Chains A and B, each alone.
Chain A
Amino acid sequence: MSKIQEIAAVVEAGKSKEIEALVKAALDEGVAPLEILNVGMIGAMDVVGAKFQKEEIFIPEMLVAARCMKKGVDVLKPHLGETGGAMIGKAVIGTVAGDLHDIGKNLVSMMIESAGFEVNDLGVDVPAEKFVEAAEADEGINLVAVSALLTTTMPAMKATVAALNASKARGRFKVLVGGAPITEGFCKEIGADAYSPDAGAAAQKAKSLV
C-alpha cells in the first residue's frame, strides 16, 4: 500500500492519532503535498461523504474522519505554499436567527472544509444582517451556507436569503440552504441557489457551485 493510500485509509477510518506521523512520513518520502491533500485526504473525504449518504456510515464516523483530515492538513499546511494548496473557495456558514441547533451546521462546515473551502463559521442564532456582513467583508467569499432546523425558523431562513440576495456582493457568492424541514421546493421559493439534504451532499454541492 502506498503512503497516499495509507493516508486515505487512515482519514476514512478517522484515526487521528496516526495521521500526523503518516503525513510526515509521506513528505519525507518526497510525495507532493498537493497529492497528499487532493488524493489522500480530499479523495478520502469524498468516499466518506458518499458512504454517509448511503447510510453505510453515520455521523460519528464522518465527524472523526473530518477531524482526522483537519489534523493532517495542519501538518501539511507549511508545505502547501501561500495559496494554502488546493483551496477552492471561502465559505460563510451559520444557523439562522432564533435557531440554536448546531449539529447539522457543524457537519456541513466540516465537510465543506474537507472539500477544500476555508470556512467562517458564524455559529447559531445568526441574524440576517450578520450573514450579509460576513459575506461582504471578504472578497474571497464565494459560498454562503444557511441552516435551519425548525419549521418555525424557516421564515428566518427566508429573510436571510432575501437579505443576501439584496447584497451588493451577491454576484460573487452562491447561497446553499439545508436543514430538517428544508426542501428543494422551499429553496427555489426563497431564491437560494441550491439545497442539500445532508452534509455529504453539501460538500459535493458546494464544489459544484463555485
Chain B
Amino acid sequence: MTITEKENLLRLVSGQEPAWVPRKGMIPYADVDPEHHSPPSKGAFPALFPPKPTDNGGRVDMFGVEYEATDSTGGLALPMPNKFILDDITKWRDVIKVPSLEGIDWEAVAKKAVEHIDRRDTCVDMGTHVGYFQHLMNFMGFTEGLCALQEEPEEVMALYDYLADFYDTIALNLIDYIKPDFFGITDDTATARSPFISVEMYKDIVKPYHARLGKIAQDRGIPVEMHNCGRCEDVIDDWIEFGVKIWNPAQIMNDLVGIKKKYGNSLILTGCWDSQGPPGWPGTEEEVVRQAVRDCIDTYAPGGGFCFWASLYGSKENEAQARKHAFWITDEYNKYGRTFYQKQG
C-alpha cells in the first residue's frame, strides 16, 4: 500500500517505524531534490505583523529590531550589531511594546497561514515566534541580554510575562483554526559547545514560558516540535514535560546516540547531520558527502525515531558549488534513505 509523505511522517511521530526515512527540506536549498518529493511538513507562521524592509536592504520587526541578512549565513538574518533597542532591562516597559490584537479576524489569518500547504500530503507545523531567550538577545544583544538574565532575573521574567500574554493569545486564537499536526516552539539557548545558560537558569527563567506555550498544544493532544540549535541536551527532560516529541535540529555536539538510546521512539531526532564538519564544508569531495549521508542514516534511523535534515550554509559567491553539494546530499538521501527500512527487512 502506498502512503503519502505526510502519513509516513505521522507514522514516525506516533512512535512506529516509518516506511522510509522522512526528511525535512534542506536549508537554504529546499528546492534541490532530483525526485521532486513534496516535503512531509511545512511551517505555518501567522503573518500578523510582518517585518518591514529598511532602506539598507535589511528589515525591521514589530518591536523595532533591525536585521541584516548576510551572504555567509545563506541569507538568514541576524540582528544588526550595535543597533540594539534595549540597553537596560529595567527600562523594558518604556521600550518594548506589543501591537494591539483587537479586531483581528483570526479565521482569515489562520486560512492565510496554511494556504501554501497541501494538507493531503503535507503536515502543518504551526509556529508563533523566535523564542523568549532569543527575543531578549535580539532586543539587547548577547552581552547585555545574558548579563540581564544573571543580574535582573525578575525584570527578565516580567518582560517574558508581557510577551507570553501576547503570544499565548495569538496561539490560542489561531490553533483551533489552523489545526496543526505539530506545534513548534523555537528558542536557541545554546552555543555549539555548551548551553548559553545553566540548567537551573533555564528551569527558573525560560522554561515556564516555553511550558505555557507547550500547554496550549498539549491540551489539544498536538505534539510539540522544539527547535533548539547547539549543545542543549541537558534540558531535554524539561522539554518532554511540556509535550516535546520532536527536536530539530538535533546536532552532533550532543550525545545523540545516547539520547536515542534513552528516549527511543518517544523523541524524534531531526537532523543529526554534521553541518560544521567536513560534510558541510565548501569544497568537500562528493564521495565524502555521500558517505556522510549513509553514515548518518545508518547511525540514527534503525528502529525509527529519526528524520533526516541536512543544513548547508552556502555562500552566494559559490552558489553553483553549494547547489551541487546540496544535490549530492539529497540524491544520496533519496537513494539510501528511501529504501533503508526495506533493505533492513
Contact = CB atoms under 8 A, between A and B. Distances in A.
A123 interface: yes
B133 to A, nearest CB: 11
Contacts of A98: 70-72
Contacts of B281: 151, 154
Contacts of A198: 193-194
A60 B194 CA distance: 12
Interface in A140-162: 150-156
A103 to B, nearest CB: 4
A58 B81 contact: no
B150 interface: yes
Interface in A12-32: 14, 16
A160 B15 CA distance: 49
A14 B146 CA distance: 13
Contacts of A67: 147
Interface stretch (B96-104, B195-203, B236-244, B286-294): B195-203
A58 B194 contact: yes
Given A63-B143, A64-B150, A98-B72, A180 B191 contact: yes
A101 B78 contact: yes
Size bracket, chain B contacts: 35 or more
Interface string A47-86: 0000000010111110110010000000000000000000
Nearest to A17: B151
Contact of B193 (A60, A106, A180): A180
B68 A100 contact: yes
B169 interface: no
B228 to A, nearest CB: 15
A130 to B, nearest CB: 15
A63 B82 CA distance: 18
B282 A64 contact: no
Contacts of A127: none
A150 B72 contact: yes
A99 interface: yes
Contacts of B73: 150, 152
A43 interface: no
A181 interface: yes
B173 interface: no
A181 to B, nearest CB: 5
Interface residues of A, number: 33
B72 to A, nearest CB: 4
B142 A106 contact: yes
Interface in A167-190: 180-181
B16 interface: no
A193 interface: no
Contact of A60 (B71, B146, B275, B314): B146
A60 B150 contact: yes
Contacts of A156: 72
Given A55-B194, A59-B196, A198-B193, A151 B147 contact: no
A58 B195 contact: yes
A195 to B, nearest CB: 13
B313 A102 contact: no
B78 A60 contact: no
Contacts of B143: 63, 102-103, 106
A104 B143 CA distance: 10
A59 B282 contact: no
A108 interface: no
Interface string B158-202: 000000000000000000000000000000000111111110010
A37 interface: no
A44 interface: no
A183 B194 CA distance: 16
Contacts of B68: 100
B271 to A, nearest CB: 15
B78 A100 contact: yes
Given A123-B81, A151-B275, A60 B280 contact: no
Contact of A102 (B142, B195, B197, B201): B142
B268 interface: no
A98 B282 CA distance: 15
A77 B197 CA distance: 32
Nearest to B153: A60
**Residue picked from A16, A60, A98, A197, most chain B C-beta under 10 Å:** A60
B71 A64 contact: no
B254 interface: no
Given A60-B149, A64-B150, A153-B72, 16 more contacts: A57-B198, A58-B196, A59-B191, A60-B146, A64-B147, A98-B70, A98-B71, A150-B73, A151-B276, A151-B280, A152-B71, A152-B72, A152-B314, A180-B276, A181-B192, A198-B194
15 contacts: A14-B151, A60-B150, A60-B197, A63-B143, A64-B147, A100-B68, A100-B78, A103-B191, A104-B191, A150-B73, A151-B282, A153-B72, A155-B282, A181-B192, A198-B193
Q: Which 7 pairs, one residue from A and one from B, show the smallest C-beta to C-beta distance?
A: A60-B150, A103-B142, A180-B192, A98-B72, A152-B72, A60-B146, A181-B276
